[in-house]
Amino acid sequence: MSDLPLFPSGFVFGAATASYQIEGAVHEDGRGPSIWDTYCHTPGRVDGGDTGDVACDHYHRYPEDVALLRDLGVDSYRFSIAWPRIQPTGSGPANAKGLDFYSRLVDELLAAGIEPAATLYHWDLPQALEDRGGWRVRETAERFGEYTQIVAEHLADRVPRWITLNEPWCSAFLGYSVGRHAPGAQEGTGALAAAHHLLVGHGLAMKALRAAGVREAGITLNLDRNVPASDAPADHEAALRADTQHNLVWTEPILAGRYPATEQDTWGELITRQDFRRDGDLDLIAQPLDFLGVNYYRPIVVADAPYREPDPSRRVATDNRYREMTYPDVRRTAMNWPVVPESFTDLLTALKDTYGQALPPIHITENGSAEHDAVDQDGGVHDPDRVAYLHSHLTALRTAMDAGVDVRGYYVWSLLDNFEWALGYAKRFGIVRVDYDTHQRIPKDSYHWYRQLIAAHRG
């Protein structure tokens, strides 16, 4: 541990999960169906035909998981709240049993000396709202604000840190353009409307959280470091379009109160019709944050390319005249993502350089790797590649902090192996292995390494 830079006093070490990926119990205690329930039960959508029906059975085993967190020594646990547990149809009165589950979880965490950090939306939209248009329509943003008010009034006295949305890029573009996430749509303007309404929903949720008196409120973005494939001007322009589509569509409205200057070049005819935007939306979206959550995994190398679909009426929102290239000569994780820790430093310092005083303190709300780990003959799970990934990325994080980036905390992704969305159960991100037949939890070497790291900061 001596070669790992120490972090300042008060730095928050945590671990993160998400509701649909771990909870299971999708038909219990009044929970309504979500878009992921529908997506998973549609043949051909999820690898292996897997679903989140049982997942890690966290709904019934949460005391065991909190005990793992306590033994790990984390300061904070980031979990998400399943909207369909609170409002089975996305509107109307609260489901008391759903609120009670999260209340019990929060109390269990506090009794273990762990600070709860709640994410209000980690992609499990009530199916009833999708049936009425989903994030394509403003009504969903309005319902999200009402849902936030219900949850905050119930838990704000015990949950100090709140995140409105997790990775809205995935919700808008994987869900409504690529079609590889729920609800599985492939659209152009519909996906851009979804992106905007997610931002409006964030703004309404921030107002509800402020009204409830929460201590800290922010949003989590999965920001990517988009690297041009060459020095050619066309590749640099393609990287800017990729940056617009992945990053600026969120950071510009939230941090600067403006839409990206590059949106016309990125989306062309798709962005010409903007009837989903209203006067006052930017003021709502750009309310001050107490922190910005950043999820980071890998850089993307991009090169110039023509539209895949020449006809704008048939073009999806992620067809932005660039293509992703293979990052050369580096190790790749089980997700086939390149391991380039210095790009983590570059991303964070670029954020500071771009937004300056407008950039709030940062929490790294997810960082980790899927690896090809398995139970060894000795009964342990030895995952040296994950340990190396965490070591190198925490070192890169410290380098960014030394360069002046105000980072207050780090949450490893993930506490548990879990349902990895359209990839089913084939990819394992956890520092604790889950046997999906028995639900036995086995801490991996990375769990023990992270515990030693945290202990080294405990004076």
**Is residue 27 within 8 Å of 37, Cβ to Cβ?**
no
Query: What are the tokens at 55?
Result: 């997942």
| Bond from prior residue into 369 cis (ω within 30 degrees of 0) | no
DSSP assignments along 231-293, one per residue: S-HHHHHHHHHHHIIIIIHHHIIIIISS--TTHHHHHGGGGT--TT--TTHHHHHTPPPSEEE
Number of H helices, E strands in the chain: 16, 13
Q: Going by C-beta distance under 8 Å and a sequence separation of 6 or more, which residues neighbour residue 410?
A: 7, 11, 12, 13, 14, 363, 364, 367, 394, 397
CA distance 123 to 168: 8
78 CB-contact burial (10 Å; exposed 0-12 / middle 13-18 / buried 19+): buried
Beta strands in 168-248 (DSSP E): 216-222, 225-228
Q: Which helix (H) or strand (E) holds 327?
A: none
**Residue 146 appears among annotated catalytic residues:** no
Of 384, 309, 394, 312, which Cα lies nearest the Cα of 14? 394
Which position among 167, 187, 252, 420 bears the catalytic label?
Answer: 167
Which string of b and e fits 268-280 if b means at least 16 CB within 10 Å?
bebbeeeebbeee
CA distance 236 to 56: 43
Q: How many residues does the chain have?
A: 459
CA 21, 372, 442 angle in degrees (round to 5)?
60
**Residue 366 appears among annotated catalytic residues:** yes
Which residues are 323's β-sheet partners?
303
**Is residue 207 within 8 Å of 145, Cβ to Cβ?**
yes
User: How many Å is the Cα radius of gyration of the chain?
Assistant: 21
CA distance 20 to 18: 6
3-class secondary-structure state, position 302: strand
Which position among 23, 115, 263, 366 bears the catalytic label?
Answer: 366
Phi then psi for residue 94, to 5 deg, are -75, 150
The residues annotated as belonging to the active site are 167, 366
